[in-house]
């Protein structure tokens, strides 16, 4: 393995339903060690699909049709499924959207954190236990020992998300994919969870690909941002630049739809339908051109 590589490099990635429509169209992005890159766009833009492709968990019937994914310098497309699973498990973690479905309801919390460390990464069970307790303490869970032997239903939604954050950071991953990790939580808990992810990330200098539909969250958590629409990158730059001076009309519309970053007194504005229609038309044209080229 080479050193000095990016935590994640996605190059011209296209993903499609087999025999059907494209869901990602030549997406490229890089996440450097220590960087938080937000991936922002409306529902259906393909944000989660990028995360799933990176983690090798695309839904059945959906596959990568072009492009490359390099995790810590490892080209996932050139690895066998078994090696790829091992690469992903040792390099990357997921903080999922819904803390309830992500935890197995019939198993205690402890093993759900330690199992990956022991089985996949070869830690001793004592080390794994110590690391889990330490992380649970770090995510401000009181009485970590008790929580280790609890079942998920005994914890609140916020506590469960803290457990999943602890589980994600426990193996010291190089990359964390955080897939709208605060969406399922109420507003006060959202703020705490966001702060926690930011603190742990800064401390460990883990690279994070942070999926969100909320420009407010982008502003709080990220240094860089990639704006996605219909599976295509509209704009990609430093977050401060994009917030201060958005270049693409879609980014401008998304920002206008987040009133606290423009005029807090105004109500939420939708992205204009004409703009959506125009962008979709442009994308359909370029899809057709590419298909004609390929044919």
Contact status: 54 vs ligand ATP (CB under 6 A): no
User: With CB under 6 A, what is the number of residues at the site for ligand ATP?
Assistant: 13
Contact status: 43 vs ligand ATP (CB under 6 A): yes
Nearest CA among 196, 221, 200, 102 for reference residue 157: 102
Q: Which two tokens stand for residue 46?
A: 């393909």
Stretch that binds ligand ATP, among 45-53, 100-108, 252-260, 264-272 (CB under 6 A): 45-53
DSSP 225-276: EEEEETTEEEEEEEHHHHHHS--SHHHHHHHHTSGGGS-TTSPPPPPPHHHH
Nearest CA among 8, 37, 32 for reference residue 228: 37
Stretch that binds ligand ATP, among 38-46, 102-110, 144-152, 263-271 (CB under 6 A): 38-46
Stretch that binds ligand ATP, among 43-51, 104-112, 151-159, 270-278 (CB under 6 A): 43-51
| Comparison of 178 and 200: residue with beta carbon closer to ligand ATP | 178
Cα distance between residue 258 and residue 147, in whole Å: 38
Cα distance between residue 286 and residue 295, in whole Å: 14
Q: Which of 6, 14, 48, 251 binds ligand ATP (CB under 6 A)?
A: 48
Contact status: 17 vs ligand ATP (CB under 6 A): yes
Q: Which of 13, 23, 165, 253 binds ligand ATP (CB under 6 A)?
A: 23
Contact status: 209 vs ligand ATP (CB under 6 A): no
User: What stretches of the chain show up as alpha helix (H) in DSSP?
Assistant: 47-55, 81-91, 99-102, 109-115, 125-138, 144-148, 157-169, 187-204, 215-221, 239-244, 249-256, 273-294
| Comparison of 48 and 129: residue with beta carbon closer to ligand ATP | 48
Sites for ligand ATP among residues 55-84 (CB under 6 A): 59, 62
Cα distance between residue 84 and residue 92, in whole Å: 11
Shortest approach of ligand ATP to residue 267 CB, angstroms?
21
Binding site for ligand ATP (CB under 6 A): 17, 23, 41, 43-49, 59, 62, 213
């Amino acid at each position: 393995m080479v050193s000095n590589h990016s935590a994640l490099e996605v190059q011209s990635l296209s993903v499609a339903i087999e025999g059907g429509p494209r869901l990602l169209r030549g997406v490229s992005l890089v996440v450097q060690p220590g960087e938080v890159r937000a991936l922002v766009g409306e529902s259906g833009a393909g944000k989660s699909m990028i995360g799933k492709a990176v983690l090798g968990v695309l839904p059945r019937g959906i596959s990568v049709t072009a492009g490359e994914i390099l995790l810590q310098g490892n080209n996932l497309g050139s690895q066998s499924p078994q090696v790829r699973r091992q690469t992903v498990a040792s390099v990357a973690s997921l903080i999922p959207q819904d803390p309830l479905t992500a935890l197995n309801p019939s198993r205690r919390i402890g093993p759900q954190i330690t199992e990956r460390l022991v089985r996949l990464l070869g830690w001793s069970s004592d080390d794994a236990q110590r690391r889990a307790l330490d992380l649970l303490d770090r995510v401000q869970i009181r009485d970590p020992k008790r929580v280790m032997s609890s079942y998920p239903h005994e914890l609140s939604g916020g506590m469960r998300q803290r457990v999943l954050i602890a589980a994600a950071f426990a193996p010291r991953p190089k990359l964390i994919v955080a897939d709208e990790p605060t969406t399922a939580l109420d507003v006060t808990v959202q703020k705490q969870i966001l702060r926690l992810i930011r603190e742990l990330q800064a401390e460990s200098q883990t690279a994070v690909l942070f999926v969100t539909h909320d420009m407010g969250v982008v502003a709080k958590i990220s240094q860089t941002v990639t704006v996605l629409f219909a599976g295509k990158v509209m704009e990609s730059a430093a977050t401060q630049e994009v917030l201060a001076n958005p270049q693409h009309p879609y980014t401008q519309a998304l920002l206008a739809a987040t009133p606290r970053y423009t005029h807090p007194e105004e109500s939420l504005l939708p992205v204009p339908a004409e703009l959506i229609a125009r962008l979709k038309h442009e994308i359909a044209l370029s899809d057709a051109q590419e298909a004609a080229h390929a044919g």
